[in-house]
Structure 1
Amino acid sequence: MTTTGYTPEALAVAVAAAIRAPSMHNSQPWRFRLRDGGIEVRVDRRRPLPVAGHGDLGDWAAHLACGAAVFNLRLALAAEGTPPRVRLCPYPDDPDVVARLEPDRPRPATPVERDLLAAVPRRHSSRLPFFPDPVPGEIRWRLVQAARAEGGWLELVVGTAAVTAFGELARGASRVLERDPDYRAEIAAWTRHGPAPDGVPARAGGPVAEPQDLLPQRPFGDRTRAPGRDFEPEPLVAVLGAAGDTAVDRITAGQVLARVLLTATDAGLATSMLSQPIEVAAARERLRTALRRFGSPQMVLRVGYGQPAWPTPRRTAAEVTDAPVHSG
């Protein structure tokens, strides 16, 4: 690989990491290709989430997922010795291309880059109850700094009263969503009861929600929980945000999300994502004002210590890679 352009071999290595990025309902809304020596990341319009992308959210879910894939690409390319320069939304006349990565000056990967890349195959969403052990202050600081390093912010919801208030907001948003039959149908469409390269396996969906639960759960599975296995009464909740809510902000937020999740995985933590308060406009605004933050909340994370999560399936790198394109 040279600074004149990335090769198909470099693309294959990088995409193998990119496809492990998180995406809503494991919809994997991304495609990759070489164009004039640069790697392009494109929204895959054949994998829509019409309910998750409703109203003012637009392409929010796809932009977050593709941004997370961009971060994984960056890690893999850095590990190969040629980190990229990244241009977001590089073509005004082709908004489906969310990023273009071009070779920057060669250098060895940093220890942090190597550690985060090693965490990529170990990062899975855990929808199971966490252990009651608190997350130490030093690791909380690392998560906040990880968000800051990518140009975003991470606000930790701390204290019984604040967590309880957030739980009420999140459950209210979940009830609003669940009243929509299209929302319920979309969840069902992405729940997998057998082998599949995408979607959420029912076994990974977590136990069925019960009235005492503080935070809402998506109804991906139908497993009842074991006696005495309630969810933690005071989870560590973290709200992740960006400076604004444009396409560039959302793609940036996806990179923030990837770095925070991988930092948590590297620290031995389990994580899951709660987007219900983001999907309901009124709840999202209430969350923003409660945090007294400028900018826009883009995702909510539940963080703690837990048993290993079920990995969700992925399409292969070949299935999401298009033929090279050469201009002129």
Structure 2
Amino acid sequence: MAEPALTLDQLKLLATAAGAAPSVHNSQPWRLRPTPDARGMLVFGDPERAVAIADPMGRALHVSVGAAVFNLRVGAGRLGRAASVSLLPDPADPHLLAEIGLDEPAARHPFGHHLYPAIRNRHSSRQPFTNRDIPETVLGELIEAARQEEVVLSPLEEDGVLRVLRVTAEAERRTAADLARQAETRSWLRLEAPASDGIPAAALGPQDRDARVPMRDFTAGRPDAPAAAPRHFEPLPQLCLLITQTDQPADWLRTGQALEHVWLLATVHGLRASVLHQAVEWPETRWRLRDPEDPPHHVQLMLRLGYGPPGPATPRRPIEEILDLTDYHDNVGYGESSA
């Protein structure tokens, strides 16, 4: 038997979950709208919130929206519903990136029931991590989480870590020398509260005193930005690449779902994470992230994992900005949430 139309409270729960997803520069480039029967959700990319210079093809925008789609799936499980996902469902509307059907009841153990609490606890941590190794069993779970989203999570060994750190450092230097990219980065800084998007001062993080781990400099030379004292980072960070075999918009959306699946599961295990995004923003350095001895593939993202302090919460857009209820009318959706 089909589930009834989503109530207003349920729609807000789903929107809150989606809105907590990670995004490049915390740009939050998504919009949500209930399907006409209110038994599903349409997910749009918002081109007005694109990071156009660093992401001219919209790949990072798709990854960000894919992460929001995964949170919607987890939120659906919280509501006792099964989520069916259709990526890029309407070729005539390139901004409609996913349609989530929510008209079927969930199985006995709803999808992502153990991940839902991590949605609010998952934050980027740009702080140094400890030297504690991640257990192989945990890495295996993270690899399987990405595989379920049709993406490969590849933990790097020492030689791979050193290689991609060199490439990332080169990309960071290129970005620092590009005035247009510097200006774009500065435009997402939010040094004065309150804010609903972007990077607040508390989330900037320090630089590595030993220059091993090339953390992004979000201040971009802005003189009024607070400068954290450099600190010693872990000597050999645990880096993982998210890899797809092809490089199409659907791959980018799957990468976003894999990223959030891995990140939420890592949070459940007490791990912290941050994304080293610099190298994938330049075609030349992105290509050099891959292992030259492996068959051709496409590196979509690099994730740094470890044990350490949690990152601070970053601002989130209000539900009213991301959830379009224009066509949600009559008496549909005014009951209580079943969450």
Deviations 1:156-189 (A, max 9, x none): 1112x32222211111121122221111111111
Asked whether the 8 Å contact 1:29–1:47 carries over to 2, the reply is yes
Structure 2 matches for 1:211-290, cutoff 5 A? 212-221=210-219, 222-225=226-229, 229-290=231-292
Structure 2 matches for 1:167-206, cutoff 5 A? 167-195=165-193, 196-206=195-205
Asked whether the 8 Å contact 2:76–2:83 carries over to 1, the reply is yes
One-letter amino acid of the structure 2 residue matched with residue 198 of structure 1: D
One-letter amino acid of the structure 2 residue matched with residue 32 of structure 1: L
One-letter amino acid of the structure 1 residue matched with residue 169 of structure 2: R
Distance 2:253 2:156 in 1: 24
Match of 1:129 in 2: 128
Match of 2:13 in 1: 13
Asked whether the 8 Å contact 2:82–2:111 carries over to 1, the reply is no
One-letter amino acid of the structure 1 residue matched with residue 238 of structure 2: L
Aligned CA distance change for structure 1 residues 5 and 95 (closer, same or farther; 3 Å): farther
Match of 1:98 in 2: 97
Match of 1:301 in 2: 303
Asked whether the 8 Å contact 2:208–2:232 carries over to 1, the reply is no
Aligned CA distance change for structure 1 residues 44 and 75 (closer, same or farther; 3 Å): same
Give the 3-state SS of the residue equivalent to 1:138 in structure 2.
helix
One-letter amino acid of the structure 2 residue matched with residue 256 of structure 1: A
Distance 2:239 2:153 in 1: 10
Give the 3-state SS of the residue equivalent to 2:48 in structure 1.
coil
Aligned CA distance change for structure 1 residues 182 and 289 (closer, same or farther; 3 Å): same
Aligned CA distance change for structure 1 residues 20 and 254 (closer, same or farther; 3 Å): same
State the TM-score, normalizing by the size of structure 1.
0.92
Asked whether the 8 Å contact 2:69–2:257 carries over to 1, the reply is yes
Distance 2:137 2:116 in 1: 21
Deviations 1:39-72 (A, max 9, x none): 1010112212111212xxx011110110000000
Asked whether the 8 Å contact 2:78–2:110 carries over to 1, the reply is no
| CA-CA distance at 1:324 after TM superposition | 4.4
| CA-CA distance at 1:9 after TM superposition | 3.2
| CA-CA distance at 1:115 after TM superposition | 1.4
One-letter amino acid of the structure 1 residue matched with residue 251 of structure 2: D
Deviations 1:110-159 (A, max 9, x none): 37611111111000000011111111111111111110011111111112
Distance 1:2 1:119 in 2: 29
Give the 3-state SS of the residue equivalent to 2:290 in structure 1.
helix
Aligned CA distance change for structure 1 residues 83 and 239 (closer, same or farther; 3 Å): same
Distance 2:91 2:293 in 1: 34
Distance 1:231 1:155 in 2: 22
State the TM-score, normalizing by the size of structure 2.
0.89
Match of 2:22 in 1: 22
One-letter amino acid of the structure 1 residue matched with residue 264 of structure 2: L
Match of 2:74 in 1: 75
Aligned residues: 319
Higher helix residue share: 1
Of the structure 1 ranges 263-272 and 43-52, higher mean CA displacement relative to structure 2 is found in: 43-52
Asked whether the 8 Å contact 1:208–1:223 carries over to 2, the reply is no
| CA-CA distance at 1:282 after TM superposition | 1.2
Q: Which of 312, 315, 339 lines up with 1:313 in the alignment?
A: 315
The alignment's C-alpha RMSD in Å is 1.9
Of the structure 1 ranges 78-87 and 91-100, higher mean CA displacement relative to structure 2 is found in: 78-87
Distance 1:119 1:290 in 2: 36
| CA-CA distance at 1:107 after TM superposition | 2.3
One-letter amino acid of the structure 2 residue matched with residue 88 of structure 1: L
| CA-CA distance at 1:293 after TM superposition | 4.9
Distance 2:132 2:115 in 1: 24
Asked whether the 8 Å contact 2:4–2:103 carries over to 1, the reply is no
Of the structure 1 ranges 282-291 and 95-104, higher mean CA displacement relative to structure 2 is found in: 282-291
Asked whether the 8 Å contact 1:146–1:259 carries over to 2, the reply is yes
One-letter amino acid of the structure 2 residue matched with residue 225 of structure 1: A
Asked whether the 8 Å contact 2:216–2:278 carries over to 1, the reply is no
Gaps in structure 1 of 5+ consecutive residues: none
Gaps in structure 2 of 5+ consecutive residues: 220-225, 329-339
Distance 1:112 1:265 in 2: 17
Distance 1:127 1:109 in 2: 38
Distance 1:40 1:162 in 2: 39
Asked whether the 8 Å contact 1:152–1:240 carries over to 2, the reply is yes
